[in-house]
A and B are shown apart, each in its own frame.
Chain A
């Protein structure tokens, strides 16, 4: 098998590794495709849909679609840009996202996507759903108001025997994340911290940590847009 295959992203030929996902191939080549539910190295969920690109003219999520020889991928078009902003807007109106009062503000990926995509205000009406804050766990606080249902906690937080600690409950508009009563009680600090870290928003908070520790101006997305790290790769390559 060849070590590399060739694909085209936005009219630019790039080399990709067989089997890798489009989003990863793009990243390595300095092309940032916005993602939210995706986490490098973790089995993709393909649920937020923000990384949708056109693959040979068809909309596909780049986090779930493996590269194939000769693939032609379009990541930038006015409708794709609009879909991305629309996804972010839908997430903002679906929950209760009070950024000024959120511990994750400045380090939040949803917020950062809003900044990058220049969302000034969502086009959709705020829903203000009634949601709980579940503070019944010894190591964690789960704030359902802020949850974007990305499944990162479900996918990444398992005990040593592979038991899932987080899970979905209900479906559709009522969908929510639950914590296993047994495993939730006995969650280790290590896993609790990891869960909070993997949460792209401020929906999972680890009790061992204080919020608002980093001053405004020094937080992750204060100065540079999300994806800048990826795009710098390209600049280095060019120069």
Chain B
């Protein structure tokens, strides 16, 4: 049987979900028997080299680059999985969703404790090279169709493992009580 191909990415996330992924520990040896990685920070492949079976998305959508990457994943992956609270509901970055965007910028670049004196010219970054910030942090499934959701901050390693195993082998997924968490 052909190995399934997996891609992963972190959008507006902290890579904590990827860390949790690595917490599957020695089962990673089983995993590489079953799958190959394409675009992913795990093997540091930056661009899709082929069509993938499964895409794992960490993080919500907070800027125009996130939108682009997410759409690219949707194009290249048969199945897309939101993993982690940020992908599912914006997570902690979405705390800004109820704050006007101007205030967010001013806090981040002008008045925040870490920038107060460093930004004497009071510059708000506006280079064309930078991604544009969205009005709020969007859950991934409000931008593209998402097929599965793995909650948790981060999702527990067992949840990731069980789900991937089920998706790869086609067996029924087992989700014990302790692995569904929202924190």
Contacts and interface: CB of A to CB of B under 8 A. Distances in A.
A111 interface: yes
A232 B151 CA distance: 28
A98 interface: yes
Count chain B CB atoms within 10 A of each CB in A105, A119, A120 and give the residue with the most.
A120
Contacts of B181: 115
A131 B97 CA distance: 11
A100 B92 contact: yes
A105 B182 contact: yes
Contacts of B92: 98, 100-101
Contacts of B89: 121, 126
Contact of B82 (A118, A121, A131): A121
A145 B98 CA distance: 10
Q: List 9 A-B pairs, minimum CB-CB distance, nearest first.
A: A99-B182, A100-B153, A121-B149, A120-B149, A128-B97, A105-B183, A99-B183, A130-B98, A100-B183
Interface of A: 96-102, 105-106, 111, 114-116, 118-121, 125-126, 128-131, 145, 216, 222-225
B91 A131 contact: no
Nearest to B175: A118
A116 B97 CA distance: 28
A100 B153 CA distance: 6
Interface string B128-157: 000000001001011000001111010000
Interface residues of B, number: 27
B85 interface: yes
Given A96-B97, A98-B94, 13 more contacts: A98-B91, A98-B92, A99-B85, A99-B183, A115-B180, A115-B181, A115-B182, A118-B175, A118-B180, A119-B151, A121-B82, A128-B94, A145-B98
A223 B178 contact: yes
Nearest to B90: A126
Given A118-B175, A120-B151, A131-B98, A100 B85 contact: yes
B95 interface: yes
For the complex, would chain B's binding face be called helix, strand, loop or mixed by DSSP majority? Answer: mixed
B146 to A, nearest CB: 8
A106 to B, nearest CB: 7
Given A100-B91, A120-B149, A114 B182 contact: yes
Nearest to A131: B98
Interface in B66-124: 82, 85, 88-92, 94-95, 97-98
A39 to B, nearest CB: 23
Nearest to A102: B183
Contacts of A105: 182-183
A96 B136 CA distance: 13
A115 B178 CA distance: 9
19 contacts: A96-B95, A98-B92, A98-B94, A99-B85, A99-B183, A100-B92, A100-B183, A111-B183, A115-B181, A118-B175, A120-B88, A120-B149, A121-B88, A128-B97, A128-B136, A131-B98, A216-B183, A224-B177, A225-B177
Contacts of B90: 126, 128
A203 B139 CA distance: 23
Nearest to A99: B182
A200 to B, nearest CB: 15
Contacts of A111: 182-183
A83 to B, nearest CB: 20
Nearest to B146: A121
